[in-house]
Structure 1
């Protein structure tokens, strides 16, 4: 996934502690950070996301939870791919057991691929190229995301760049709420669900954990974690990882360095303070997303041009052709980014019946994505866009270019390719505070607030490169700019946004007896975006605008659960969500002098059943979502891009999962997803015709949303005798539409994976050494795995009348990586 214009990546690593909890217990002596038993605490563990929806459980409900969880712990639910749940809505959790068996460089998008309702894919199995995911027809920008309770979706675009978030050795568990986020979640863009994961707690015993991996495409990964053990009431860990790999198609490398850390100060049995740091630095290149036509013509392993045409001493048409061809050179399609987050988490018992959780955080991110442009040489003192008093073709001269795109006088072209760098700089402080008060055995009240005020600047700046090799003078473009005569750096756009978010929430939980649980809550979210946007700043063609927009909504949610016994439960949940319009939509609408700031809204309803038996456990859920005002790009009559909406969508389907422990060491897990995401009504793409580049009204009524497979099936067969383990997995995905009019689709595909490992006994000072092998795409299958860029219409119908012209463009797709392996050795030193 790329950082592009108006959606530059603001990936967020984040702070700690999701949910309200008791202080850490002394029994949590393992760095794997597994869940404590529910019988050992009243509510969810502070460093676990599992069952966070019951953080406000009553004392009676806590006993119900204890019985159900103890029943589930006697099972091996899908080798960690399934967990016991008690919330009155759809929710699934991946546990530490499954994370330990995955490839160690995997990011969270790869971990959640088996969860029902989720469609996940990645450009590279190393986990170093981010990832792509959707859920029940909602794309990733419609899904909330937290790490340890703090939000990590981009403040402007709601994108999530998974590579930035920690190492798998530090992940505790990952929970997905497929439709209805919790009332207390710090989300401003979660129309369609929520994902959260937590880091492990420091161990009570000191030592060093070490992991070394090698794999296909020269993949190399080194991970080291220092555990201090108990230093009085404080214990900590800090980790470092170095990750590199060659890209599996085309030229280029992926290089990521990460530093994570966590400390816990146990003040007493009822009070604790934690501190967390996460840092990531990427110096990557990008994968090119291809159209079907490009893949057919250029081959499955094409990824930008792998050769550079030297510009030295070229002139006229030869220089013009070389400069424009070199725009697609792989060395200019960069993806550098760095981010860090520091956070603290206070868990305090204010009274016998009241517990307070306070999570302040601060996140910083800087970086973006590279590309290319073509500038012309000029000695003029006028600030003309993409003209510069620089020798761009390396001939030792600066000639005034008089090339005109209309006249095509190629012989008078003097210039060359320049480095285009779209970047974003974000400062993001915030705080989440919530309290739980028991109003007796049968009633509990949770209430609190979330406040955040972020600042984000975005720009697309041009820089110089070597005309002989195509290498940018500055990979991160902190210097060596293409300058106007006045000395200002040349930019395509320059934007600044301040976003202020205020949210208050309250939830009441009532359990009148041992069978029934009733939940009702409401939140109020008030969001303000202010700022300014400039196109071609400092040039003679500059345009600019200011904006000051706000949105606010009251968001109710309710749920009912019937706990028949410790094996059977039924539930019904419903909730309203809304999504503050993205920076992209606001800025483009402001530049087009439009105000189409309708927020996305959804009503999501789940009806489900769960069974936890002695050898078989299962869950089944049917759902329906009414989804309004999905934002999509369109064009005015003048060809100016702005944002329109998909007015209404109906989304419904079935999610289910099952775990069967048919022998003491053997487990089968399977999940199934059926999704029907239909557009209701036509999409107004903006009036226009073939000459002005605008759109018309697209007849989309009854069409299926792009990038939404109707059927997804997962199955895994696992063996684990505590020393040897192995798992064979399979996944079936049905076809995907690439455009809103459903005129282009790519076929479904099936993939298989295999993983196995051996846990050795202690070798003196080497504790718990192990070796494991992970193989992806066993059958070496080739397929389009997801839709990267969906269009309204893939191509103009043959014989269409000019008066009925609709703008068309070919959709772009991600590609499934061929068979690849990762071999890992790990151990601890104590």
Structure 2
């Protein structure tokens, strides 16, 4: 809770021809999408990384289209090995609950880009980017490429300790056309989408503009997710040797959250317990009882009219929501300079305004209600440039490039008044105004600079070697804002942190035994730069760590085989990762001494794993897909936080050891259908592994029909039905949104969210 810490695969016969999709660099952001078949019916769904020296797989727009409209592109990646996706809503778009992890690395330790533009670490309340669900409408994504182990050297990311995800938008079509889509589903949810392609306007210039609207009530409690967006993209050839591609996207996102739960709360109230935003009267009464004795909590629990159980103060709250407005724009100029020399320059800009709220019973409004609204606000204004110069000579391809970003980020903790009335004086999705108290406000300037050098050497027709290194420097300057009303001596963490490593090497080998079998082996080192988290303590805490804290680092070795047979495509890989200087909020002293809770380095993690994935084509229309991964991730050290906790050799919390997917897909051009199952084993939610949540299997199905009419109203008309969690499984989805505990013998850690029950939708699509 913010109040505390704040399916399936179709034909893959085109895999060889589609291999350019998997190139580490994307000089033209439109190329991977089109090469992946993002705009073509019958294109491959999963593309295995033919020719790559690392573990790389791509999911195309065909897979996104088969999912429920509006589904997060992250959730579509769940079928790939070692990928775990958790969310409280069926679409995977509730940002407070959505968690994405790969090979035991969490979302904020991975890298994400859209058409080469960095999206930051996509964590909640992101300080240096935005979530992909806001960056672009899912219908406009042409392909998504996952590198499980390490991103390419040219990936603009300061957080990719583990893998990277590169999203590529669809290319505007050569022909004029209008795509429309309307969906309706469970809880009276609906979604509308439309896209206008201009076609060739002359000289190869083409563009599109789209709009989307989502109104999705929560599956339990009160509230909804509302979002609308406008996306646009243009391609402009500049003679025969250059091209300009640009996009501009805007989103307005409003999201009522789900109640954070614990095993004890689920046992007491059941799976459907939530915020009580339909009962302001009881929310006020709970606050008054709590405030009557904040020392001994004699009125902490009480009986309230309309409820069969005794309700304690932290069992529920009135409401919590998040609001976000984003504008994201980027461009890419590519040019062939002749004599084997080519250039790419890609500027971008992002502006964000956001807020997360919680109706707190702990701080009454002076002269008003027993409740107030506690908020954490965010503002981002960042701009940057990526670029690369490539020189091809003989069997070598040399590349030199870099990334620069300047980011101004502001965050504040404020409290807003509520009138002493029987209803909330602030609307449930309103931007609050005029705070009565500002606990803190920080102004950050974050400067990021990265360079890379690499060479790809085609030694023989069968052997390819690439090697290089990157350098990364991130400087975080923090200035405590005088508008803060808490004690400057206590909260002033003004200062600077630097994370710098100018030699982070990577090397890889790919050997093709024959057209059917290839092998790959790679090694990579990475560093995750400091975020703003080290500053979120008191002055004494920051002073204690500012000269000693180290950025997290990783060393990854991986290798495997890929198979490209007549009826089968697949891969098998193994890996070893050493993750060092792990950062965790701890009290780094004995309880008897007492000291501030700070972000500290607490040792290392060793991870070993195996990944398998494959597609078997029974017929041209019918295919089987499966994936399995085993992850053995363990802490290497015990941790001191008041007392010494025995975490050494314990499994990394929230990480399932076993993940598996199975899917049957059918598509003959008229009828399409899928049924897919996703399994994950139990997960620990404490560092000492004394508490866990059980594993689960979720089954999703989809069925579609494309009307085969030459003309008339049925021409280019499709109907599609989707059901998620077909068997209505009750399960815990997200773990650790409020942090994790070292131990939880009573099952009271209120830091997990219940997964969505069975949800159904029907969609109509029409192309004009």
Q: TM-score, normalised by structure 2?
A: 0.88
Give the drift of 1:668: 0.3
Cα deviation for residue 86 of structure 1 reads 2.0
Distance in 2, matches of 1:320 and 1:162, equals: 44
| Partners of 2:16 and 2:584 in 1: CA distance | 45
Distance 1:519 1:140, change over 3 A: same
TM-superposed deviation, 1:627:
0.4
Q: Distance in 1 between matches of 2:750 and 2:289?
A: 31
Answer yes or no: is 1:146 the counterpart of 2:113: yes
Provide the rounded CA distance (Å) in 1 between the counterparts of 2:538 and 2:465.
43
Q: 1:52 Cα shift?
A: 2.4
Asked whether the equivalents of residues 332 and 347 of structure 2 are also in contact (C-alpha less than 8 Å), the reply is yes
Query: Does the Cα contact within 8 Å between 2:116 and 2:166 map onto a contact in 1?
Result: yes
Q: Deviations over 1:317-354 (max 9, x none)?
A: 69848999888776531111111111111111112311
* Cα contact 1:141–1:157 (8 A) shared by 2: no
Contact 1:311 1:468 (8 Å CA) reproduced: no
CA RMSD, Structure 1 to Structure 2 (Å) = 3.3
CA contact (8 A) 1:331 1:471 kept: no
Choose from 55, 60, 63 the match for 1:95: 60
SS in 2 for 1:201: coil
Alignment of 1:702-781 (within 5 A): 702-762=649-709, 763-764=711-712, 767-781=715-729
TM-fit CA distance, 1:625: 0.1
Q: 122, 127, 134: which one pairs with 2:101?
A: 134
Match of 1:453 in 2: 406
The alignment partner of 2:150 has SS state of coil
Shift of 1:551: 1.7
CA shift, 1:665, in A, is: 1.8
Aligned to 1:290: 261
TM alignment of 1:202-221, pairs within 5 A: 202-221=172-191
Structure 1 residue 53 and structure 2 residue 18: aligned? no
> Deviations 1:486-527 (Å, cap 9, x if unpaired)?
xxxx11221111110111101100012101011101001111
Q: Secondary structure at the match of 1:468?
A: coil
Does the residue aligned with 1:545 lie in a helix, a strand or coil?
A: coil
Q: How many angstroms apart in 1 are the aligned matches of 2:15 and 2:236?
A: 22
Q: For structure 1, which segment, 300-309 or 760-769, has the greater mean C-alpha deviation from structure 2 after superposition?
A: 760-769
Of 527-536 and 228-237, more deviation after overlay is shown by 527-536
Distance of 1:213 and 1:35 partners within structure 2? 32
Provide, for residues 215-250 of structure 1, a one-character-per-residue CA deviation record: whole Å limited to 9, x for no partner.
Answer: 011110011111111112321111111101110121
Cα distance between partner residues in 1 of 2:544 and 2:155: 32
Deviations 1:587-621 (A, max 9, x none): 43755122242100000111110010000111000
Q: Which moves more between the two structures, 206-215 or 318-327? A: 318-327
| 2:469 is aligned with 1:491 | no
Q: Quick one: which of 248, 251, 274 aligns to 2:245?
A: 274
Of the structure 1 ranges 759-768 and 561-570, higher mean CA displacement relative to structure 2 is found in: 759-768
Q: 1:315 and 1:107 mapped to 2: Cα distance?
A: 37
Q: Compute the displacement of 1:93 (Å).
A: 0.8
Counterpart for residue 116 of structure 1? 81
Confirm or deny that 1:698 pairs with 2:674.
no
Residue deviations 1:699-744 (CA, integer Å, cap 9, x gap): 1110000111110110001111111111110111100001100000
SS of alignment partner, residue 582 of structure 2? strand
Task: State the Cα distance separating 1:255 from its structure 2 match.
Answer: 0.5
The structural deviation recorded for 1:475 is: 5.8
Deviation of 1:153 after TM superposition, in Å, equals 1.8
Is the counterpart of residue 107 in structure 1 residue 107 in structure 2?
no
Distance in 2 between the 1:547 and 1:697 partners? 30
Larger radius of gyration: 1
Once superposed, which parts of structure 1, at least 4 consecutive aligned residues long, lie more than 6 Å away? 2-7, 34-40, 74-77, 310-316, 321-329
* Equivalent-residue separation in structure 2 for 1:634 and 1:347 (angstroms): 48
Which deviates more, 249-258 or 471-480? 471-480
Partner SS state of residue 532, structure 1: strand
Q: Is the 8 A contact 2:517 2:561 kept in 1?
A: yes
The aligned counterpart of 1:13 is none
- The answer as to whether partners of 1:214 and 1:823 remain within 8 angstroms in 2 is yes
| Residues 139/152 of structure 1: CA separation in 2 closer, same or farther (3 Å cut) | same
Contact 1:370 1:422 in 2 (8 A): yes
Question: Are 2:377 and 1:438 equivalent residues in the alignment?
Answer: no
- Structure 1 counterpart of 2:368: 392
- Asked if structure 2 preserves the Cα contact closer than 8 Å seen for 1:338 and 1:367, the reply is yes
**Counterparts of residues 564-643 of structure 1 (less than 5 Å):** 564-588=513-537, 592=541, 593-595=543-545, 596-635=548-587, 637-638=593-594, 640-643=596-599
Matched residues in 2 for 1:749 and 1:568: separation? 35
DSSP 3-state at the match of 2:617 = strand
Q: Distance in 1 between matches of 2:247 and 2:14?
A: 21
**Deviation of residue 552 (structure 1)?**
0.9
Q: Which moved more, 1:470-479 or 1:548-557?
A: 470-479
Q: Which runs of 5+ in 1 are unaligned?
A: 8-33, 45-49, 57-64, 377-385, 394-415, 484-489, 686-694, 798-807
Query: 1:532 deviation in Å?
Result: 2.2
1:370 has 2:335 as partner = no
The equivalent of 2:309 in structure 1 is none
* 1:791 maps to which of 740, 744, 765: 740
Give a deviation string over 1:516-554, Cα, whole Å, max 9, x none: 011101001111110124699224676313111212112
Task: Work out the CA distance in 2 between the residues paired with 1:481 and 1:784.
Answer: 38
Cα distance, 1:792 vs structure 2: 3.5
Q: Contact conserved, 1:738 with 1:811, CA < 8 A, in 2?
A: no
Contact 1:158–1:189 under 8 Å retained in 2? no
Partner SS, residue 564 of structure 1:
strand
Can you list the C-alpha shifts for 1:649-700, whole angstroms capped at 9, x where unaligned? 1101101101100223210000001000011111122xxxxxxxxx222111
- For residues 258-657 of structure 1, what are the structure 2 equivalents within 5 Å? 258-306=229-277, 307-309=279-281, 320=292, 332-374=319-361, 388=366, 391-393=367-369, 416-440=370-394, 442-473=395-426, 480-483=433-436, 490-533=437-480, 537-539=484-486, 543=490, 544-553=492-501, 554-588=503-537, 592=541, 593-595=543-545, 596-635=548-587, 637-638=593-594, 640-657=596-613
Go from structure 1 to structure 2 and tell me whether the alpha carbon gap of 1:328 and 1:494 turns closer, same or farther (over 3 Å shift): farther
CA distance in 2, matches of 1:352, 1:611: 36
Q: Distance in 2 between matches of 1:258 and 1:348?
A: 32
Paired residues in the alignment total 724
Q: Residues of 2 paired with 1:230 and 1:310: CA distance?
A: 61
Structure 1 residues 780 and 815: alpha-carbon distance in aligned structure 2, compared to 1, 3 A threshold: same
Change beyond 3 A, Cα 1:278–1:5: farther
CA distance in 1, matches of 2:215, 2:527: 39
How far is 1:82 from its partner? 4.0
CA distance, structure 2, for counterparts of residue 311 and residue 751 of structure 1: 35
Give the structure 1 partner of residue 304 of structure 2.
none
Q: Is the CA contact (8 Å cut-off) linking 2:82 and 2:629 kept in structure 1?
A: yes
> Aligned residue for 1:172?
142
Gaps of 5+ in 2: 7-11, 294-298, 302-311
Quote how far apart the aligned CAs of 1:316 are.
7.8
